[in-house]
Structure 1
Amino acid sequence: MKALACLRRHALLLATLVSVVLGFTIGLLCRQLNPSPDVVILISFPGEMFLRMLKMMILPLVVSSIITGLANLNSKSAGKIGLYTIVYYIGTTVLATIIGLILVLTIRPGHFYNNNVVDVRSSGGAPSASARDVFLDLVRNVFPENVVQASFQTSGTVYVQKHTGVSLQDNSTATHNSSLNETSSIQTSEGIWAPKSVYRSGMNTIGIICYFVFFGVILGRLGKKGKVVLRFFTVVNDITIRMVLILLWYSPIGIMFLIMGNILSVKNLTATAKQLAIYIVTTLTGLGIHVLIVLPLLQLALTRKNPYKIVKGIPQAVLTVLATASSSATLPITIRCCEENLKINTAITRFVLPIGATINMDGTAIFQVISAVYIAQIRRIPLHFIEIIVLSLCTVLGSVGVAGVPNSAIMVLMVILSSVGLPVEDISILLAVDWFLARMQGMVNITGDCFAASMLDHFFPYTPVGQTDVDDSMPSEDEEETVKADTDV
């Protein structure tokens, strides 16, 4: 009976594990049949629907979670938690960058690369965004012009050729921002290019978080006047969590088809793996050291608790990010694992995890710094001490500003390469394995978020007083029915 009860309790986790194994196995077997691109699209469709459903939950969950989490804290505690969170996230990102640098400079995977196996395609066109552009875009996104627009568009810098107004860097549909910057032009062999700030498709998560952090803090200070609004967002959060729980039962099917589609879409899987084996091993070693040694040791030093209990409590979130390659899309499941399995205070999870899914990208930092130095080693370009410092700073800045969605790390890597004068077109070497490494990065990113939530829960182990006030001041359903019956009499 105990075994049966345990099986029922972990049925969803077991089903997800089976789906991962089946996805890899069936995907590898189907590669022998050489399916057409149309067949691959159809195979990937159920997984695409799962990913779209997860993304559908991000906006309501982030908004309601941050508002209820901050409003249930007093202003002094909210300030301390916010400060500790930012310091912890930036500190672990710096550690991750140092780990990546040490490994890539020690192993030197670029010296094992054979230029005859994988061709380098020239990207051409407009110059890449600079480190200055990334910083300015980050500040622009922190303070969006329109919070509604921020839910579906994000600000970014592209370079357009003067006198033509045509951008060759950004092929996506973009609307121009009202504040255009043409004061800093770049001249290349193809013409003169000027930077422009434009809006691109995609949720501006960091801007939404910034706005609703202020909203939640002010709501918590309103006292009784704000309790009706707080109760509304609390109910919205509960509804969203229940919708996520229903969605989770579709996750094994979605995960299996996502993995199958990704494996079938990769060309020359075996040749690419052999060519980039040392690079892949170096990256995976850095990710493993950070998530299995550095973060647990930091957690043990700060809390004196067994850190590996955190890893054991989030397998569902880890498997989901393995399929989706998106820490933002996995956010609903990460919150559920932390609250139900790790028993972390809801006020902590609803504040810390949405911010972590946006700015805490330790795995991405390791990938970016290793990839940049790897390309320099391939080209036999020596990096001096100052260039390594600049590269490290750009890595930290880029990983903080990168969106938690697939392939976003590659875009930031272009900026890092251009900041130290490395050839941006060499990124094409890494595209064949980015689908795999992006998933490994995501696993490290969400695990770091959970470590942060557990650490803050240790330092702030109390029940949110705001939640108690709301429940006491607002009548329950039974009380409302009693009042109504008395009124009718």
Structure 2
Amino acid sequence: MIAIGYYIFTTIVATVVGIILVISIRPGDVISNGAITVKSLDATPSQSTRDVFLDLARNIFPENIVQATFETSGTVYVKMDKPVDRRTVIQKNGNRSSNNDTDPNTDGRWTPTSVYRPGMNTLGILCFFVIFGVILGRHGEKGKIVLQFFVTLNDITIQMVWIVMWYSPVGIMFLIIGKVLSVEDMASTARQLVVYLTTIIAGAIIHVLILLPLLYFVLTKKNPFRIFRGIPEAVVTALAIASSSATLPVTIRCCEENLKINNAITRFVLPLGATINMDGTAIFYVVSVVYIAQMHAISLHFFEMILLSLCTVLTSVGAAGIPNAAIVTLIVILSSVGLPTESISILLAVDWFLGRLRTIANITGDCLTAAVLDHFFPQADVDVEMRPERPLCTSEDENHMAELV
């Protein structure tokens, strides 16, 4: 529980760092060219803080979990010239109302209406399955059947994804080519991407080289940079293969042999961190989402930033430790906050580098966490394989066997 709590805390810190940097630097405001379609401004009233808060509450507790996989709740303003049954209100973009009442007092006024619009309700799905998983775990033996079903379903889905991945290089190539051909000013677009990269790199440096070492020093009163001197091989491996899971054996060996961390700590904390500790991924998520919003001149309200932070923390905890997995789940976060997903193609050109940067940040955080827990639990039980094995046959067993013979 301490390890999980520590991981979630550092992920929240990484998310806050990313939000502060992207709002301060504003990489999406560097240029404004024909490559990006700016959201047009009309006379339609914008959402109020109350509307955003109510949308957040409605999305956390979806009415229908199946519907939440392809629609999300949102508030729009509809100008009604006469009393209209809200069940028949169809927005220009295909949204449909979720209210079932008729409001006779909307003549000529802008009326807030809760509608369902295309896009996955990520927050509602995550909250539903967190509760589902907790209750399933309390069912013990009876719940193992359901658990095995989802494990098998996950294996099948991964095999299907691997089939699609054989085609993905061709698809990504055409996505990038199409986006490049639509850019009118290549130099300005390149400068914008450089500022975007600089923002993410600055966030990773601040989090990994300043905040995490400072937290380690406050908790242990030890030099945090000795950890960095013990894991260069893991960092180089992460830079080469961009996968926390694939780097895991090297990370464990560096922590046990170079840093002398207890075997019981490394064999539990590091595999757990490769699954749920994604600080670098959290920074990437929040910077990328706000960057795309800035490119489209879409302002995010305070509660929308809270929703973004919740989605970032929950999604980064559940992100797979495989190469370039974050760029896929970024689409889910964009849909959850109502942002266009087509602009993600421009990020594919630089994600090969960002994936390696995210992996380095992730494994460094894992090693620092293992060092913190090793400081507080130096006498933790060693792994089973390190315990002296009981002889297969003792002298008493031999005497008993002789008597039977």
CA shift digits 1:82-128 (9 cap, x unpaired): x11011001000000000000000011100144346899xxxxx944
Tell me the TM-score normalised to structure 2 length: 0.64
Contact 2:262–2:382 (8 Å) recurs in 1: no
Question: Pairwise mapping of residues 202-281 of structure 1 onto structure 2 (< 5 A)?
Answer: 273-281=190-198
Unmatched segments (≥5 aa) in structure 1 = 1-82, 121-125, 156-172, 175-198, 204-261
* Cα distance in 2, alignment partners of residues 139 and 315 from structure 1: 40
Greater shift after overlay, 363-372 or 272-281? 272-281
Aligned partner of 1:284 in structure 2 is 201
Aligned partner of 1:443 in structure 2 is 360
Letter of the 2:124 counterpart: R
Residues 315/150 of structure 1: CA separation in 2 closer, same or farther (3 Å cut):
farther
**Larger C-alpha radius of gyration, 1 or 2?**
2
1:426 aligns with 2:371: no
Residue among 81, 84, 93 paired with 2:2: 84
Aligned partner of 1:112 in structure 2 is 30
Tell me the TM-score normalised to structure 1 length: 0.54
* Cα distance in 1, alignment partners of residues 368 and 161 from structure 2: 28
* Cα distance in 2, alignment partners of residues 116 and 444 from structure 1: 35
Please give the root-mean-square deviation of Cα atoms over the aligned residues, in Å: 3.8
Aligned residues: 297
1:340 aligns with 2:257: yes
Contact 2:18–2:283 (8 Å) recurs in 1: yes
Q: Secondary structure of 2:379's match?
A: coil
* Cα distance in 1, alignment partners of residues 291 and 347 from structure 2: 10
CA shift digits 1:45-74 (9 cap, x unpaired): xxxxxxxxxxxxxxxxxxxxxxxxxxxxxx
* Cα distance in 2, alignment partners of residues 405 and 434 from structure 1: 13
Aligned partner of 1:458 in structure 2 is 375
Q: Secondary structure of 1:380's match?
A: coil
Aligned partner of 1:95 in structure 2 is 13
CA shift digits 1:357-384 (9 cap, x unpaired): 0110000000100111111110111111
Contact 1:303–1:455 (8 Å) recurs in 2: yes
Aligned partner of 2:120 in structure 1 is 129
Contact 2:37–2:296 (8 Å) recurs in 1: no
Residues 326/309 of structure 1: CA separation in 2 closer, same or farther (3 Å cut):
same
1:390 aligns with 2:307: yes
Contact 1:117–1:275 (8 Å) recurs in 2: no
1:202 shift after superposition: 7.0
* Cα distance in 2, alignment partners of residues 306 and 438 from structure 1: 28
Q: In proportion to residue count, which structure has more helix?
A: 1
CA shift digits 1:124-163 (9 cap, x unpaired): xx944222224445667786856667667528xxxxxxxx
Aligned partner of 2:56 in structure 1 is none
* Cα distance in 1, alignment partners of residues 192 and 386 from structure 2: 61
Residues 442/129 of structure 1: CA separation in 2 closer, same or farther (3 Å cut):
same
Aligned partner of 1:182 in structure 2 is none
Residues 388/147 of structure 1: CA separation in 2 closer, same or farther (3 Å cut):
closer
Question: Pairwise mapping of residues 307-346 of structure 1 onto structure 2 (< 5 A)?
Answer: 307-346=224-263
Letter of the 2:359 counterpart: G
Q: Secondary structure of 2:267's match?
A: helix
Residue among 338, 350, 367 paired with 2:284: 367
Residues 466/366 of structure 1: CA separation in 2 closer, same or farther (3 Å cut):
closer
Aligned partner of 1:306 in structure 2 is 223
Residues 394/468 of structure 1: CA separation in 2 closer, same or farther (3 Å cut):
closer
1:418 shift after superposition: 1.9
Letter of the 1:278 counterpart: V
Contact 1:118–1:429 (8 Å) recurs in 2: no
1:475 aligns with 2:391: yes
Q: Secondary structure of 2:292's match?
A: helix
Aligned partner of 2:103 in structure 1 is none
* Cα distance in 2, alignment partners of residues 274 and 446 from structure 1: 30
Residues 344/280 of structure 1: CA separation in 2 closer, same or farther (3 Å cut):
same
* Cα distance in 1, alignment partners of residues 28 and 279 from structure 2: 22
Residues 402/111 of structure 1: CA separation in 2 closer, same or farther (3 Å cut):
same
